[in-house]
């Protein structure tokens, strides 16, 4: 029987093995492992890729979001708008600063924040909107920017899942005052460990974040503020520089796999396929289908050797970590509905077309078509 893992680095990493091993040797033999040239080089390459003036490499995506909010001066009691169906990290960054999470439901079509519901959530305490480009698809950034400007609030994009995506031709991670991304290994651009970055066009903000992530220090042993150690390692930065040169082609492979799924599953009325906004591009960090028979289908596919996942089974507002928010189940019915009906199918560079068709065939068999 075939075995199709949910995610495998085998193909991707075997193809670039030599250059990655060379990269390791170069950093190893440089005898310099923190705050050095590899980080600077990657920062300038990623800023260029993302079409922003600055990129600040940091320890991971969660720290990136936290550092931005902290540098923006977010304080306890400030209100931050986040989608009700995001990954927990977006919410945690807000909680670290004791700011108030204000959840807004996603669109049932794109799964990104519903721009028609943002304004009713804004109060005099609202300081920022954090759109999350979920699963690889860009949010409706023109509307979000318009609302933010009208109410004089910040936009901070969570771009962990969508490096390379665009809305109306402009890249995600280049709209907000500052934006966080993650290079967790499984992301579209993944390090060989934890890593993340902040992109911004704001010179002062870039400088403040640079200081905050490095012990509150610009000059070694002189500390201006109570900072953190949230730096990106030289080794990870060097690996990321190499992998960045492949990102566009890997994103294309994801899109090609998605188009096979789209084509092969098009006529199944028992499942809902991903829907892409006409002005957005989708980098397919995840390929998500929805069905009322979710758990049965997952079990059926598992028995056919196909691993799938749920992104995510519990919305942040229903997590145990957030019981103190006292938000009853059912408050965010779209987030609930998504959590109950979604399945993420395998999608990764190197996944064979034939395996994608096998997965589709198994799904059709399950639904007797
Ligand atoms: C992965 C992810 C993060 C956090 O990134 P880490 O590097 O794991 O800290 C934040 N937001 C979203 C939407 C993510 O998918």
> What is the model's pLDDT at position 339?
98
> What is the model's pLDDT at position 206?
98
What's the count of helices (H) and strands (E) in the chain, helices before strands? 12, 13
- Please work out, in degrees rounded to the nearest 5, the angle formed at the alpha carbon of residue 131 by the alpha carbons of 329 and 205: 130
Closest CA to 207 of 216, 197, 196, 194: 216
Phi, psi of 34 (to 5 degrees): -135, 145
Query: Is 160 a pocket residue for ligand 1 (Cβ < 6 Å)?
Result: yes
> What is the model's pLDDT at position 1?
86
Q: Strands 196-200, 54-58: parallel, antiparallel or unpaired by DSSP?
A: antiparallel
Those residues whose C-beta lies under 8 Å from the C-beta of residue 273, and which sit 6 or more positions away, are 261, 262, 265, 266, 289
Cα–Cα distance for residue pair 342/360, rounded to 1 Å: 16
Residue with tokens 């931005």: 68
Q: Which atom of ligand 1 approaches the CA of 133 most closely? A: 13
Q: Write the secondary structure of 52-115 as one string of H (helix), E (strand) and C (coil).
A: CCEEEEECCHHHHHHHHHHHCCCCCCCEEEEECCCCHHHHHHHHHCCCEEEEECECCCCCCECH
| Residues pairing with 199 in the sheet | 55, 179
Query: Is 196 a pocket residue for ligand 1 (Cβ < 6 Å)?
Result: yes
Calculate the CA dihedral of residues 208, 212, 216, 218 and round it to 10 degrees: -50
Q: Which atom of ligand 1 approaches the CA of 194 most closely? A: 7
Residue with tokens 């990493």: 13
171: which DSSP letter? E
CA neighbours closer than 13 Å in the CB half-sphere of residue 350: 15
> What is the model's pLDDT at position 296?
98
> What's the 65 CA to ligand 1 centre distance in angstroms?
9
> What is the model's pLDDT at position 220?
92
> What is the model's pLDDT at position 365?
98
121: which DSSP letter? G
Cα–Cα distance for residue pair 218/18, rounded to 1 Å: 36
Q: Which atom of ligand 1 approaches the CA of 134 most closely? A: 13
Q: Tens digit of pLDDT per residue, the chain (369 long)?
A: 899 999 999 999 999 999 999 999 999 999 999 999 999 999 999 999 999 999 999 999 999 999 999 999 999 999 999 999 999 999 999 999 999 999 999 999 999 999 999 999 999 999 999 999 999 999 999 999 999 999 999 999 999 999 999 999 999 999 999 999 999 999 999 999 999 999 999 999 999 999 999 999 999 999 999 999 999 999 999 999 999 999 999 999 999 999 999 999 999 999 999 999 999 999 999 999 999 999 999 999 999 999 999 999 999 999 999 999 999 999 999 999 999 999 999 999 999 999 999 999 999 999 998
- Measure Cα distances from 303 to 342, 357, 359 in Å: 19, 17, 12
Mutate to test the pocket of ligand 1, among 57, 88, 89, 180 (most ligand atoms within 8 A of CB): 89
228 token code pair = 């953190």
Q: With residue 126 as reference, give the H or E element that holds it.
A: strand 126-129
3: which DSSP letter? -
> What's the 195 CA to ligand 1 centre distance in angstroms?
10
């Amino acid at each position: 029987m075939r075995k199709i893992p949910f995610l495998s680095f085998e193909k991707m990493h075997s193809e670039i093995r030599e250059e990655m091993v060379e990269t390791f040797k170069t950093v190893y033999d440089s005898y310099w492992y923190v705050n050095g040239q590899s980080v600077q080089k990657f920062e300038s390459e990623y800023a260029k890729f993302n079409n922003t003036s600055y990129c600040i490499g940091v320890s991971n995506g969660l720290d990136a979001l936290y550092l931005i909010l902290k540098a923006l001066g977010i304080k306890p009691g400030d209100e931050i708008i986040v989608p009700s169906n995001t990954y927990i990290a977006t919410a945690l960054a807000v909680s670290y600063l004791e700011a108030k999470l204000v959840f807004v439901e996603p669109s049932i079509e794109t799964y990104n924040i519903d721009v028609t519901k943002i304004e009713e959530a804004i109060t005099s305490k609202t300081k920022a909107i954090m759109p999350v480009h979920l699963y690889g698809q860009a949010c409706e950034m023109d509307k979000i920017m318009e609302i933010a400007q009208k109410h004089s609030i910040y936009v901070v994009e969570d771009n962990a899942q969508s490096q390379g995506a665009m809305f109306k031709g402009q890249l995600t991670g280049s709209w907000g005052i500052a934006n966080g991304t993650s290079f967790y290994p499984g992301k579209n651009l993944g390090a060989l460990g934890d890593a993340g970055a902040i992109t911004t066009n704001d010179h002062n903000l870039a400088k403040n974040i640079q200081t905050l992530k490095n012990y509150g220090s610009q000059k070694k042993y002189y500390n201006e503020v109570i900072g953190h150690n949230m730096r990106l390692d030289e080794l990870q930065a060097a690996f990321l520089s190499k992998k960045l040169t492949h990102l566009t082609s890997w994103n294309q492979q994801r899109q090609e796999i998605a188009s096979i799924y789209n084509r092969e599953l098009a006529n199944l009325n028992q499942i809902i396929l991903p829907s892409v906004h006409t002005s957005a591009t989708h980098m397919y960090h995840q390929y998500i289908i929805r069905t009322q028979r979710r758990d049965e289908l997952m079990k059926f596919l598992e028995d056919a050797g196909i691993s799938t996942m749920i992104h995510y089974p519990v919305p942040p507002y229903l997590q145990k970590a957030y019981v103190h928010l006292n938000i009853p189940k059912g408050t965010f019915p779209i987030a609930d509905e998504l959590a109950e009906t979604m399945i993420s199918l395998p999608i990764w560079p190197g996944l064979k077309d034939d395996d994608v068709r096998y997965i589709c065939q198994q799904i059709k068999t399950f639904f007797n078509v």
